Structure 1
Amino acid sequence: MNLGIVGQAVGLFAVTNIDDVVVLALFFAQGAGRRHAARNITVGQYVGFAAIVAVAVTAAFGATFLPERVVPYLGLLPLAIGVRAAVRVWRHRGRGGQEEDERTGPGGPRLLEVAAVTFANGGDNIGVYVPVFATAGIVGMSSYVVVFLALLALWIAAGRYFATRPVVARALSRWGHLLLPMVLIGIGVVILVDGGAFGL
């Protein structure tokens, strides 16, 4: 594997996915103490990112399954999930300790929700990845994909690490249920506005 390509892949991944660490930390905080939450977050992140890479690879070969004008509307996914989470927070606003007791049961972030947020949040990355993949050739493209998937594990570990640091964990435990809907809604709005969806 060409070290130059590896270095470029590391830089490209870091620049295009830096905000994912924050979202992952919020997901891990939401899933703290819940069965299968870490698995759902990890698999969901990989499914969502694999979909981004798959679309970018096929587009690099000339097949466009996701027209450019559709990308801004991906913002509707995190927006809808964020609104749903906000409604859930509103409904449970007076439950206090009862909600904490339920944290040991199943629940937390759902696999498909994490995948949808990952895909929507990285939808604009497709436009960056396509020309890079197209000019890298098959070997270079394969190197990019391998490095991206390896770094994704590091990103997931970083999100979990931040969510479990005592100071961060306390803050997320207290405010995470409010921050997650706000972050998801914010991501959705930014994607829609930046892409000019609905004439914005």
Structure 2
Amino acid sequence: MNTQSLPFSTKYRFWLILCAALILSQIPIISIPFKWLESYFHEISHGLAALFTGGSIVRIQLFSNGAGLCTTRGGMSFLISFMGYAGAALWGMGIYYIATMHQRIAQILSGIIALLLLTTLVFWARDLLTLLIITVLLALVVLKFKYSKLSYLQVSLQLTGALILLNSVKSPWYLIDGRNIGDGAALSQLTGIPEFLWVVVWFSIGVGGIVWLARTSKKR
């Protein structure tokens, strides 16, 4: 396809959506559900890593400030700790990319996300606040099915993926607080590699995801 002949909004679609996501992330009230969603994908990535390596999920907790906690039993400790921030970045990349493929595929993707949230609500949410937050997220995903045009759903998912990806780039840096707790500290204890280097790795995955999406969007 000759990109020179494409409209501006099509040619630079990814960057426009990324800019819109950046603006939305700075709006106090509107940004809250997206922070919850990024935290959810962070925690569910820990949990899925545990499940895939023979462990189990004990509970998932989400907090009103955007923080979260996934308690697991068994599994591979290294992969479980690593996949929190890495998983959030991969979820952001995947949601944006898959939603871009086709409007019907975007609809299926919404259904998969809703099913994952519902599974978490039933099996791993134990406290009232987590139940409330996941219910809100589930309601927002389900409401997207009400869009009269699938193109609106597609853009909404792309925006969601971009917001999750941007948060995954920013959030690892909060670990550099001198308290020696969190995923970076856990990996440092397991491997002897300083926490700062793990933060750089997670940051690089997020930035790499942005670059990859920017390049693939030019080919569509």
Pairwise TM-score range, normalised by the shorter structure: 0.3 to 0.5
Report the structure, 1 or 2, having the larger strand content: 2
Bigger relative contact order, structure 1 or 2 (CA pairs below 8 A, ≥6 apart): 1
TM-score (norm 1): 0.37
TM-score (norm 2): 0.35
Report the structure, 1 or 2, having the larger helix content: 1
